[in-house]
Structure 1
Amino acid sequence: MPQMLLIVEPLGQRAERGRAAGEVLYKRMLDFASELQAQGLLLGVNSLGSEARRLAKRDGSAQVWDGPFAESKEMVGGYFLLDTDDPAVALAWAERCPAAEWATVEIRGVGPCYL
């Protein structure tokens, strides 16, 4: 089962740090992705925007909510999808992830929802 590193960061943090500081941190994340790729572990990586929508479909009717969501104090800011079924390997890479310095890195297995 591949392992995903989810970057969970406080809402508003990107705006507070500003573009110049954000570009420096983004470069560090790109370098981290390059390390994962060099090790043959990287299946996918992306940053995620802070604006979001949610959709739920009940009784054939869809309901959509626009975000950001007031009840949320954090957002998923991005992910790295790793080609390993070993949670210990994912944890070791999560510890090396630059985002762990300003956000939380959540490690999750990726697979069927019945596992």
Structure 2
Amino acid sequence: MRYTLLLHYPEATAETLGAEALAEGQRAFASYAATLHGAGVLVAGEVLQPSVASTTVRMRDSALQVQDGPFADTKDQLGGTIVIDVPDLDAAIEWARQAPPVHWGAVEIRPGAVHTVDGAWTPSA
């Protein structure tokens, strides 16, 4: 079953983090990605640009509203996603436990859905 690990952590620039902390984070993510790949569970991973680069759209009173920036008013950002294919939620939790942001942010686990059947999402298999 596919799960997406949504990596949330405080938004910071390279300058505010400092070179040492940035290098340490990059090493941690590289190691984590290599471990996922070596275990054969990595489907995809993507680092996202800072939330200031995002655009949020929604419909209000039949009109499209386009907002610069993220939907949530928070100091945390969704910094990246990792898609894994594992047998069950317990396995996804174990992989999320090993994700570097679990130490300085949060890792949200969300099951994937591949398509709809009669209007209902069907979980990935």
Same-fold call, TM > 0.5? yes
Matched residue, 2:28: 28
Alpha-carbon separation, structure 2, partners of 1:68 and 1:18: 25
Q: Calculate the aligned-residue CA RMSD, in Å.
A: 2.3
Identity %: 29
Please, which runs of 5 or more residues in structure 2 have no aligned partner? none
Matched residue, 2:102: 100
- The amino acid across from 2:42 in the alignment is L
SS for the counterpart of 1:32 is helix
TM-score by length of 1: 0.83
- The amino acid across from 2:34 in the alignment is S
Q: Which runs of 4+ in 1 moved over 4 A?
A: none
Matched residue, 2:38: 38
Matched residue, 1:74: 76
Q: Which has the higher relative contact order, 1 or 2, with Cα contacts under 8 A spaced 6 or more apart?
A: 1
Q: Which has the larger radius of gyration?
A: 2
Equivalenced residues, count: 114
Greater strand proportion: 2
TM-score by length of 2: 0.77
